[in-house]
Amino acid sequence: MRTRSKPLLRDEQVAKSKAKRPRDPAQPNLPFDKMPSRIEPALALLKPKPPSGPDWTFEVKFDGYRLAVHIEPGGVRILTRGGHDWTHRFPEIAKDAKKLGVGTAILDGETVVLDSVGRSDFGALQRSLGGRGGKRVSSEAVFFAFDLLYFDGHLLTNAELSVRRHLLTDLLDGNTGAIQLSEEVQGDGDKLLETACTHGLEGIIAKHRDSKYRSGRTGDWLKIKCVQSESFVVIGYERSSVARGGVGSLILAARDGHGWKSVGSVGTGFTERDAIYLKQALEKLETKRPVVPIKGKNIVFCRPTLIAEINFRGWTDDGNLRHASYKGLREVQDNAAIFQIKSRNA
């Protein structure tokens, strides 16, 4: 049996989503909807505090790769947030999807590798895939499904979240393999966030119970983090003769419309091994024409190709990351995750 996700609460008074009745395998007498080849994912809007009131439900915020599992008559497809086919990278998830006993479905969720106490570990997920650009497949990854977008021939994006979650719970409740149900709880958001942070989790996700599934950051879903973490491109590095691996710091940028904006640098969080790999990769990307002009000594500019996941504590008044720390590199196919400046104050 695989490790289960760290729960938000063990309080018996907190209501959890439960299936009301077993799923009827007979198809309902309704017209079928064509199965979409892909649905642009709904994204959570960053907020400093959880919302309050009975209209909101909460889940653990996982630290992994956002994926959609498409179960089709001809087999299973696993798509990244940007639409790339990664079925071959997660064979155990694909195998478990075939065992669910459903003709057609699209599950939305996050793929993670859990540590010994049930916390998602982004570094462990990267290592299981062989690092950035690695060719390994991950047998350790677990897909935590938190939404059901298409089911038994019917598109569910116009159904309320509470309805979609009920159907998803019917389908997955009790699964302990490579596909599991993301825990949903109702309760006080502030208490749940405090518990998540105490347990060393990334934070929590809040979702409006009556919301339809709408692509993009609409405000129906909110993310509240214990420590902020986002993806930025590396546009250069500070060469150092004393730092381990020869990299003093990485110069970072975020998307700003159709261009880029510098958000400062990060000089902590990477090991000597990380620094050696980063320098080798960045040397191949060197350019004389920086995407963002930056002044400083010993700066080597690079094309915006490497995507770094960064922990930070907030933003300075001039738009730079505060107390940034390097977590790891994302795959180049995951460019949809790069932070957009326009969403910072949304």
Helices (H), the chain: 91-98, 122-128, 161-172, 189-198, 272-283
What local confidence, expressed as pLDDT, does residue 17 receive? 45
**pLDDT per position as a tens digit, 41-73:** 999 998 989 999 999 999 999 989 999 999 999
| Mean pLDDT taken over the chain | 87
pLDDT band at 1 (very low <50, low <70, confident <90, very high): low
Q: Which residues are catalytic?
A: 61
Domain ranges of the chain: 62-184, 228-343
pLDDT band at 346 (very low <50, low <70, confident <90, very high): very low
pLDDT at 19 over 90: no
What local confidence, expressed as pLDDT, does residue 341 receive? 85
What homologous superfamily is domain 62-184 in, according to CATH?
DNA ligase/mRNA capping enzyme (3.30.470.30)
**pLDDT per position as a tens digit, 114-165:** 988 888 988 889 888 886 666 688 999 999 999 999 999 999 999 999 999 9
Multiple choice CATH, 228-343, 2.40.50.140, 3.30.70.141, 2.60.34.10, 3.30.200.20: 2.40.50.140
- Strand blocks (E) in the chain: 45-46, 56-60, 65-72, 75-80, 105-112, 142-151, 154-155, 179-181, 184-185, 203-208, 221-225, 228-239, 247-256, 259-266, 299-301, 307-312, 314-315, 321-322, 325-330
